[in-house]
Amino acid sequence: MQALTKLLHHEAAGGVILLIATALALIFQNGILSHFYNEILHSQFIIGFRGHDLAKPLITWVNDGLMAIFFFVVGLELKKEVREGELSRPSQIALPAVGALGGVITPALIFWAFNHSNEFALRGWAIPTATDIAFAVGIMALLGSRIPSGLKIFLLTLAVVDDLCAIIIIALFYTEHLYTASMMLAAACLGVLWVFNKLRVGKKSVYMLFTFLLWLSVLNSGVHATIAGVLAAFCIPTVDKDGNRMLDELHEDLHGITTFFILPVFAFVNAGVGLRGVELSQLVNSVGMGIFFGLFVGKQVGVFIFTFVFIKILKLGKLPSGATWGKLYGVCILAGIGFTMSLFVNSLAYHESKEFFYADKIGILLASLASGVVGYFYLFFYDKIFKSKLAKNPKDNE
C-alpha cells in the first residue's frame, strides 16, 4: 500500500499540472496571444542534416515524439504489471479487464449511434473509449480513505488495460499507408532489442540508441510512431545480467518527466480550443454529442454493467475488497475522464480538422470535467448520504 499511496500522490500532482496546462492553452488560444500561440505550434523544427532531415511542426513533434516517450513509460508499466504485478494473476485482472472492455464497447456504440451516417465523422469512434489515468488517480488521491484500497486497485488496473486497448486500437485502426523499407528497418531494430533483452544486456544507452532508431523507422513507416515506444519497452529486461532492476530504474527515471513535462506539454499544444466566433449551434453536432455522451454516459454505464454481469449474473468474480455497488459506480463515473488519451486519438482521427468547429475537443473537455466533478462529489458525499440507509439494509450492496 505504501507504493500505491506514493503513486496516488505523485499522479495527483501531475493532474493539477495537467489542469493548469489546459487552462493556459485555452487562455492563449482565446486571448491576445492567440497568434503567437498558433505560430509556435506550427513552426517547423528540423532534425538531421541536409538531404537526410525531418521537418515537422512543433505540434507533430509533441504528438509523435514526446508522446512516444509517454507510451514507452506506459509499456514499462504494462510489462511490470504483467510480469509481477496486478496483471500477472488472472483472478486479479479479470474484473477490471471486463470493466475496461465495457468501457470501450459502450462509448464506441454511443458515438456510432450519433455518427453512423457520416463516414469522416466515424473516424473518431475511439475518442471516447480512453481513460486518463493521471486525472482519475489524482481525484482518487483527493478523496483519500473514502475510496477503499480494493477500488483504487480496480481503477488503476482498469486504466492500465484501457491503455493497452488504446495502443491496439491505434495500431489497427489509425495506420493508413505502410512503407516496406521503413517497416523492415523497424523490424531489424526491434530484433536487435529483443536479442539484447534475451542476453540481459546491462547498458541503458544501448537500448536507448536502438529505441530511437526504432522510433525513427516507425515514424517513416506509416504506423503511428508511439507504437515504437510500447514495443521497445517490452524489450527492456526486468533484471539485467548484473542483477540490476533495469525496468524499474528506467521507469523511475522517466515517470516524473512524463508526468510533469510531457503530458502537460501535450495538453498545452492540443487543448487550445478557439471559442471566438463559434456559436452554440455549431458545437451541438453529432461528433461533439457522440464524444460527450460516449465519455460521460457510455464509460460509466459500460464499465458498471459489464462488471455487474460478470459478478451477479455469471458468478465469475466478486466486488473488490471493501467495495459496495454504490462506490463501484462512483469509480465507474471517474473512468469517463478521457482527456489526454482522448485528445491524442482525436488528433489521429481528424488530423487537426476544423470541420466540427472544435466540437470534438470541447466534447472531450466537457465530458472529462463532468466525469471528474460528478464522480468526486458522488464519492465525497456517498458515505454521509447512504450511511443510515446501508445500516438499515446491509443487503443492498451484496
CATH number at residue 58: 1.20.1530.10
Q: Specify the DSSP class assigned to residue 320.
A: P
In a domain, 9, yes or no: no
Distance between CA atoms of residues 330 and 280, nearest Å: 30
Question: Which residue, 36, 62, 58, is CA-closest to 45?
Answer: 58
Give the three cell numbers for residue 113.
449511434
Distance between CA atoms of residues 9 and 142, nearest Å: 9
In a domain, 4, yes or no: no
Distance between CA atoms of residues 379 and 391, nearest Å: 18
In a domain, 204, yes or no: yes
**Which residues are CB-contacts of 149 (< 8 A; sequence separation ≥ 6)?**
1, 4, 321, 322
Provide the total of helices (H) and of strands (E) in the chain, helices listed first: 18, 2
In a domain, 395, yes or no: no
What is the enclosing helix (H) or strand (E) of 74?
helix 67-84
In a domain, 8, yes or no: no
- 9 vs 2, 77, 107, 143, 192, CA distance in Å? 11, 17, 29, 11, 37
**pLDDT score, position 212:** 92
**Cell 464509460 identifies what position?**
299
Residue type, 346: N
Distance between CA atoms of residues 318 and 189, nearest Å: 44
Give the three cell numbers for residue 340.
489526454
**pLDDT score, position 128:** 94
Dihedral angle computed from the Cα positions of residues 318, 319, 324 and 326, in that order, rounded to the nearest 10 degrees: -100
**pLDDT score, position 214:** 92
End-to-end CA distance of the chain: 25
pLDDT along the chain (398 residues), means of 10: 52 74 89 87 74 74 86 84 72 86 96 94 92 77 78 82 82 76 90 94 91 88 80 91 90 86 87 73 83 96 96 90 90 90 86 74 90 92 68 52
Q: Is residue 35 exposed (0-12), middle (13-18) or buried (19+ Cβ within 10 Å)?
A: exposed
In a domain, 66, yes or no: yes
- 355 vs 270, 287, 393, CA distance in Å? 16, 10, 53
Q: In total, how many domains does the chain have?
A: 1
**pLDDT score, position 233:** 92
The model's pTM:
0.76
In a domain, 120, yes or no: yes
Distance between CA atoms of residues 134 and 45, nearest Å: 29
Give the three cell numbers for residue 296.
460521460
Spatial contact of 114 and 287, defined as CB atoms under 8 Å apart: yes
**pLDDT score, position 52:** 61
Spatial contact of 160 and 77, defined as CB atoms under 8 Å apart: yes
**pLDDT score, position 86:** 62
Dihedral angle computed from the Cα positions of residues 133, 136, 139 and 143, in that order, rounded to the nearest 10 degrees: -110
Domain range for 261: 15-390
**pLDDT score, position 173:** 84
In a domain, 275, yes or no: yes
**Which residues are CB-contacts of 361 (< 8 A; sequence separation ≥ 6)?**
270, 271, 273, 343, 346
Distance between CA atoms of residues 348 and 195, nearest Å: 32
Q: Where are the alpha helices (DSSP H) in 202-262?
A: 204-219, 226-233, 246-257
Q: Which residues of 357-394 are buried (b: 16+ CB within 10 A; e: fewer)?
A: bbbbbbbbbbbbbbbbebbbebbbebeeebeeebeeee
Residue type, 337: I
Question: Which residue, 263, 261, 206, 272, is CA-closest to 237?
Answer: 206
